[in-house]
């Protein structure tokens, strides 16, 4: 059976990855810039996210209104996001509009950074930061990364800080764009009912003047710290505790087994759900695996009344200990596998979801996987592979405990907001 993929690299270094889906009537395209918060300096924290906003604010060919209207003319479902290690811009359209969709997003990848829009968008982002400070979840996650990855670029938030965003200049954005949005640090991903040769010709025409950086764009691999930190924020009424452990990268052979373990412990109908949430101890408790290209972090968390934070922490640890020390039941494994396989199968029928899956594979693994390959990876998970994974990456032992809320607990650093 022939591969559904076409992989091509233009002379300027731009990678093109295409999946043909001949049985659908739509297509999706996206430009991946391999850059995010971890590629910033502390003085320029937030520049990646700021630049994402500015790519929608005008080019030499369109102002921001024309960009918005042109997306609508194409019938596009579109957006963009910035994470710790990537920025992605995408649009999903009827198949006959895919070349125009690629042209529009390619144009956005070379923004004009108009001064008036820059000044206005700075205020928008400062408001985003202010809103984030009103969210206990958001404050906790930012504080967690700041302490667990202290001394590493993963320590600062994607939005940046009030001071860094305020101090950013248009020239800062332009310099960052030139360096990080170079052709050889970007990938065009396309999925749907398309002609690969036509896509490549379109991309070649649209990006012929894009320059290569000839930079390997190496990153420092983070080492999660262990310890304890708490942040006192008196305006909140609830307290969150998070226990952090070393995880695996997005391309690690044990990735699916670790994902299954976190799902059994803290996913839907999980042990945390039945033994913590349903007992009334916490309205929200779970397990999250943050995977990156070169590392990972497992976060076990729960929220409760500040007076109950010790009891909640003990419960989180107790369930994690049982998971690591007693082999999981086959029925638990099968349940999370069934849910995961259904999600992958449904997403595999959508060009948009395939676009994101392919982007993830290309960025973290270097090449795309078919839906069947993804399903096979899930199917290979067993109680034994989970036990083997937890023996190497246990959810107990050395940890970083983070507590955020109105109570000064466990009172180790006195930080407050």
In a domain, residue 219? The reply is no
Average pLDDT rounded to a whole number, residues 138-154: 96
Say whether both 178 and 261 belong to one domain. no
In a domain, residue 183? The reply is yes
Residue 369 binned pLDDT confidence (cut-offs 50, 70, 90): very high
Residue range 290-305, pLDDT digits in tens: 999 999 999 999 999 9
Residues above pLDDT 70, as percent of the chain: 98
CATH number reported for the structural domain that contains residue 304 in this entry: 3.30.830.10
Taking 70 as the threshold, does the pLDDT of residue 39 lie above it?
yes
Last residue of a domain, one of 155, 175, 206: 206
Average pLDDT rounded to a whole number, residues 219-227: 93
In a domain, residue 125? The reply is yes
Indicate the SS3 state at residue 11.
Answer: coil
Rounded to whole angstroms, how far apart are CA atoms 225 and 373?
34
Say whether both 201 and 299 belong to one domain. no
Say whether both 153 and 200 belong to one domain. yes
Residue range 88-106, pLDDT digits in tens: 999 999 999 999 999 999 9
Rounded to whole angstroms, how far apart are CA atoms 301 and 285?
6
In a domain, residue 220? The reply is no
Tell me what pLDDT residue 127 has. 97
Say whether both 153 and 233 belong to one domain. no
Last residue of a domain, one of 172, 206, 240: 206
Tell me what pLDDT residue 2 has. 80
- The residue segments making up the domain with residue 331 are 227-416
Residues above pLDDT 90, as percent of the chain: 95
Residue 413 binned pLDDT confidence (cut-offs 50, 70, 90): low
Q: How many domains in the chain?
A: 2
In a domain, residue 213? The reply is no
Average pLDDT rounded to a whole number, residues 233-254: 97
Query: What crossing angle do the helices spanning 170-180 and 115-132 adopt, rounded to 10°?
Result: 90
Taking 90 as the threshold, does the pLDDT of residue 417 lie above it?
no
Residue 214 binned pLDDT confidence (cut-offs 50, 70, 90): confident
Tell me what pLDDT residue 108 has. 98
Say whether both 24 and 162 belong to one domain. yes
With CA atoms as reference, report the closest residue to 391 among 383, 403, 402, 401. Answer: 383
Say whether both 161 and 302 belong to one domain. no
Average pLDDT rounded to a whole number, residues 236-261: 97
In a domain, residue 281? The reply is yes
Say whether both 30 and 102 belong to one domain. yes
In a domain, residue 211? The reply is no
With CA atoms as reference, report the closest residue to 33 among 90, 114, 101, 99. Answer: 90
With CA atoms as reference, report the closest residue to 89 among 48, 36, 30. Answer: 30
In a domain, residue 179? The reply is yes
Residue 215 binned pLDDT confidence (cut-offs 50, 70, 90): confident
Tallying the residues shown for the chain, one arrives at: 417
Taking 70 as the threshold, does the pLDDT of residue 12 lie above it?
yes
Mean pLDDT of the chain: 95
Say whether both 151 and 266 belong to one domain. no
Say whether both 63 and 193 belong to one domain. yes
Phi-psi region of 262 (alpha: psi -120 to 50; beta: other; left: phi over 0): alpha
Last residue of a domain, one of 159, 177, 206: 206
Say whether both 246 and 385 belong to one domain. yes
pTM of the model: 0.94
Say whether both 161 and 264 belong to one domain. no
Taking 60 as the threshold, does the pLDDT of residue 8 lie above it?
yes
Say whether both 406 and 343 belong to one domain. yes
């Amino acid at each position: 059976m022939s591969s559904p993929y076409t992989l091509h690299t233009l002379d300027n270094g731009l990678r093109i990855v295409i999946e043909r889906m001949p049985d659908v009537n739509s297509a999706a395209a996206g430009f991946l810039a391999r850059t995010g918060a971890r590629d910033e300096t502390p003085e320029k924290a937030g520049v990646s996210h700021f630049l994402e906003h500015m790519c929608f604010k005008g080019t030499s060919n369109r102002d921001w209104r024309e960009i918005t209207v042109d997306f609508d003319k194409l019938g596009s479902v579109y957006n963009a996001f910035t994470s710790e290690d990537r920025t992605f811009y995408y649009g999903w359209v009827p198949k006959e509009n895919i070349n125009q969709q690629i042209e529009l997003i390619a144009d956005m990848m070379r923004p004009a950074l108009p001064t008036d829009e820059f000044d206005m968008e700075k205020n928008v982002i400062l408001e985003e930061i202010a809103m984030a400070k009103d969210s206990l979840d958001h404050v906790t996650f930012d504080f967690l990364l700041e302490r667990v990855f202290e001394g590493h670029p993963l320590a600062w938030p994607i939005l940046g800080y009030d001071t860094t965003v305020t101090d950013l200049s248009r020239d800062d954005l332009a310099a960052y764009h030139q360096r990080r949005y170079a052709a050889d640090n970007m990938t065009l991903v396309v999925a749907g009912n398309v002609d690969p040769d036509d896509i490549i010709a379109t991309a070649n025409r649209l990006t012929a003047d894009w320059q290569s950086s000839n930079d390997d764009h190496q990153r420092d691999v983070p080492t999660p710290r262990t310890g304890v930190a708490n942040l006192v924020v008196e305006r909140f009424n609830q307290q969150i505790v998070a226990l952090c452990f070393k995880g695996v990268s997005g391309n690690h052979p044990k990735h699916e087994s670790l994902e299954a373990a976190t799902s059994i412990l803290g996913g839907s109908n999980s042990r945390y759900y039945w033994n913590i949430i349903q007992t009334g101890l916490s309205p929200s408790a779970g397990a999250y695996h943050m995977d990156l290209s070169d590392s990972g972090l497992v976060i076990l968390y729960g929220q409760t009344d500040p007076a109950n934070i010790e009891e909640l922490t003990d419960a989180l640890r107790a369930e994690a200990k049982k998971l690591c020390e007693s082999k999981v039941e086959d029925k638990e494994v099968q349940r999370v596998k069934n849910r995961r396989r259904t999600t992958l199968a449904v997403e595999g029928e959508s060009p948009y979801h395939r676009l994101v899956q392919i982007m993830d594979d290309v960025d973290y693994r270097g090449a795309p996987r078919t839906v069947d390959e993804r399903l096979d990876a899930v199917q290979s998970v067993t109680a034994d592979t989970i036990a083997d994974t937890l023996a190497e990456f246990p959810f107990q032992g050395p940890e970083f405990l983070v507590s955020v809320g109105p109570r000064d607990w466990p009172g180790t650093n006195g930080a407050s907001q």
